[in-house]
């Protein structure tokens, strides 16, 4: 095999993130090794560790990249109709169970002390609550946002455990319920 052309560090990081994103989506976090990420792009495991100090750090960056992709995919829509945007996001997530599984596991793990992804999730949920504010009868917009996120994450967990749970249809029904109960 000819020697690999040396890439710019930012390009190499992007290449590693893209490979890890694909592998985590295909195999989940636990089913993906750093060696598999390295093999996917023709690097050694040490080469990956040069850019990301650990598998946890790589996953945190993959999740951050996943959020960037989601934000680009749904750019502008969130400000127009938070409920419709979240409905589209739930449907989109149904097409990538490996990433949903990685997200679910890592978000739950992040509540432990000194977890490397804790700050990522604290900030992510804060941003999500700001984006998902929807007025509903009897609740503040902030309370509704927290409830929407809890329903979305809870449905994802149930869907991962039992794929017969139709998270897309159930979330759609929940969104319709909120629309019918919005404050005037």
The answer to whether residues 31 and 107 belong to one domain is no
Residues 21/102, Cβ–Cβ less than 8 Å: no
Q: pLDDT value at position 1?
A: 46
Q: How confident is the model at residue 181 (pLDDT cuts 50, 70, 90)?
A: confident
- Distance between CA 124 and CA 11 in Å, rounded? 25
pLDDT average, residue stretch 143-162: 95
Q: pLDDT value at position 161?
A: 97
The answer to whether residues 124 and 184 belong to one domain is yes
* 60-108 residue pLDDT tens: 898 888 888 877 777 655 455 888 888 999 999 999 888 888 888 888 8
Token pair of 7 as six digits: 């890439």
The answer to whether residues 88 and 137 belong to one domain is yes
Q: What is the CATH number of the domain that holds 31?
A: 1.10.10.60
Closest listed residue to residue 70, CA positions, set 102, 98, 99, 31? 99
Listed residues 50, 66, 82: the one ending a domain: 66
- Distance between CA 133 and CA 141 in Å, rounded? 5
Residues 21/66, Cβ–Cβ less than 8 Å: yes
The answer to whether residues 102 and 184 belong to one domain is yes
Domain holding 89, by residue range, is 74-184
Q: Please spell the DSSP secondary structure of 38-103, one letter per residue.
A: HHHHT--HHHHHHHSSSHHHHHHHHHHHHHHHHHHHTTTHHHH-HHHHHHHHHHHHTT-HHHHHHH
Q: How many structural domains are present in the chain? A: 2
The answer to whether residues 94 and 132 belong to one domain is yes
């Amino acid at each position: 095999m000819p020697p690999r052309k040396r890439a710019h560090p930012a390009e190499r990081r992007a290449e590693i993130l893209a490979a890890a994103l694909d592998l985590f989506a295909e195999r989940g976090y636990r089913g993906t090794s750093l060696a598999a990420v390295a093999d996917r792009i023709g690097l050694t495991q040490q080469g990956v560790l040069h850019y990301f100090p650990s598998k946890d750090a790589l996953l945190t960056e993959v999740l951050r990249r996943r959020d960037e992709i989601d934000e680009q995919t749904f750019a502008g829509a969130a400000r127009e109709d938070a409920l419709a945007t979240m409905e589209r996001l739930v449907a989109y997530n149904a097409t990538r169970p490996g990433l949903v599984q990685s997200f679910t596991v890592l978000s739950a793990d992040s509540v432990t002390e000194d977890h490397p992804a804790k700050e990522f999730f604290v900030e992510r949920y804060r941003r999500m609550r700001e984006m998902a504010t929807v007025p509903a009868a009897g609740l503040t917009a902030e309370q509704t946002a927290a409830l929407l996120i809890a329903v979305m994450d809870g449905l994802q967990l149930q869907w991962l455990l039992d794929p017969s749970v139709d998270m897309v249809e159930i979330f759609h029904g929940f969104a319709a319920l909120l629309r019918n109960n919005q404050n005037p």
